[in-house]
Structure 1
């Protein structure tokens, strides 16, 4: 007799460094459609998400009308709204939406402020070549709810270039949410080793999520974003 996975994504009030991506008209946010998290950098202004979250497939171009709201929950924006001045995506994604490069970095700021987002909310370390099996917390924002969800389980290898995370309850909107290892129980900060995306842009059911494996190519993309910050 086999037992089903007793785990499921559970709503909570969130973590400061993790947030939702919203549509943004320059004045106010609209609906949230993806997730992201602040990643530690020398410039202190980088957010990681999935490339498919910031790419308009109909036009073949990157989105410009979006904003990142860290710590968002229940209509509250405790750390304000941050807008990207640059979005860095690998050419392999732009040319043919290669799922092994479904990662993007946003250089974000607040108009009229010199404060760095990393100083405001903290940041997860980037984990490069982390291996495939690790106890991992995954956080994301379902598009039809006002709280993020969290689940912790072991990842496994789906393919040589993709991570798999089996926990139900991750519907549309959770794409771009971080895969976190070595999470500090006091601060909620950890090491980001993936983002919901990759194979089937993160999974074709809410029960199984995927991420592109963070290889040296993703590290190079990070360094490019850091240089742009």
Structure 2
């Protein structure tokens, strides 16, 4: 994840369809703020060949530069409000050997991340992202499968899809659900398109918009959600709930990026930075956890809940996520249709 001073980096288809129809019925942004990075089939094939096991292990936890400060209004907490929208989780297919040996135990509340040993939907729908920047360096982040009409969307951080200093989109972008110690239990999915807001790069409070969605190509003829299931997602929701976060932090205490870690706590506002509309909990995951999911309404027995943000920045005591408001809902809708 990034730090503030030193950045380190279902429901039945009928129910889902009617829920997404509600999302489509809402008015779009006054102007199209979405930036889309698209990859051809040939580029995706090349990405699959590129990401050997050796390259996966050699990739560094993402360490982006801070987004440049530019003139412009600082958003207010209510500037991105709209009607609440909830998309339900999609249960995973029948159990596989990849789930064997999991213990359904939730770590006690703590100020530092703990290994996730509970199994369930979250260990399938969480995963690692790998990509290459313009200079050829390789990096990793975290991401989570979000239920969508195309069953092919993941939520991650904007700084995991675009260089915030230059606006250049990252390449050779792949997602490995259920990643653990180099294993690919459900295969490697390549990104067809990456979606982030232009204001993430151009605004003077870019962290407020540090979310992104990726639309993934099918693997072995199956969509991502049909392969591993999907978490629910919520937009325009209130604060002050008990939430959980999941990511692949890169420190030795977090398994050096090779295992899924977990934090939980009561959500609070980010009062440490002027103009911030972010929310967080008193727990800090480190580089590589960027983009990992924040979930509300989390059922530890099932490992399922509702995405309400992604791990973005921290201040050494708390980790924060951008709020998923109307701008995020519009971006999600675009990804869901791609």
Structure 1 residues 19, 32: closer, same or farther in 2, change over 3 A? farther
- In 2, the alpha carbon distance for the partners of 1:204 and 1:6 equals 17
- In 1, the alpha carbon distance for the partners of 2:249 and 2:227 equals 24
What residue number does 1:162 align with? 278
Matches within 5 A, 1:35-74: 35-57=142-164, 59-74=166-181
Greater helix proportion: 2
Of the candidates 17, 20, 35, which is equivalent to residue 128 of structure 2? 20
Tell whether 2:291 aligns with 1:208: no
Tell whether 2:286 aligns with 1:171: yes
Greater strand proportion: 1
Any idea what SS the aligned residue of 1:131 has? coil
Tell whether 2:112 aligns with 1:8: yes
Runs of 4+ in 1 over 3 A off after TM superposition: none
What residue number does 1:27 align with? none
Q: Which runs of 5+ in 2 are unaligned?
A: 1-108, 251-255
Q: Deviations over 1:10-53 (max 9, x none)?
A: 023561001111237xxxxx976210000000100000000011
**How many residues of Structure 1 are paired with residues of Structure 2 in the alignment?**
213
Tell whether 2:192 aligns with 1:77: no
Any idea what SS the aligned residue of 1:176 has? coil
Of the candidates 254, 262, 277, which is equivalent to residue 150 of structure 1? 262
Q: CA RMSD in A?
A: 2.3
Task: Return 180-189 or 120-129, whichever deviates more.
Answer: 180-189
Deviation at 1:204, TM superposition (A): 4.3
Q: Deviations over 1:51-89 (max 9, x none)?
A: 011112454211112211111112211111111010011
Q: TM-score, normalised by structure 1?
A: 0.85
- In 1, the alpha carbon distance for the partners of 2:328 and 2:150 equals 18
8 Å CA contact 2:194–2:213 kept in 1: the answer is yes
What residue number does 2:302 align with? 187
Deviation at 1:130, TM superposition (A): 1.7
Structure 1 residues 62, 32: closer, same or farther in 2, change over 3 A? closer
Q: TM-score, normalised by structure 2?
A: 0.59
- In 1, the alpha carbon distance for the partners of 2:151 and 2:215 equals 9
Q: Which structure has the greater CA radius of gyration?
A: 2
Deviation at 1:186, TM superposition (A): 3.0
- In 2, the alpha carbon distance for the partners of 1:32 and 1:148 equals 17
Q: Which runs of 5+ in 1 are unaligned?
A: 25-29
8 Å CA contact 1:16–1:121 kept in 2: the answer is yes
What residue number does 2:221 align with? 114
- In 1, the alpha carbon distance for the partners of 2:125 and 2:139 equals 16
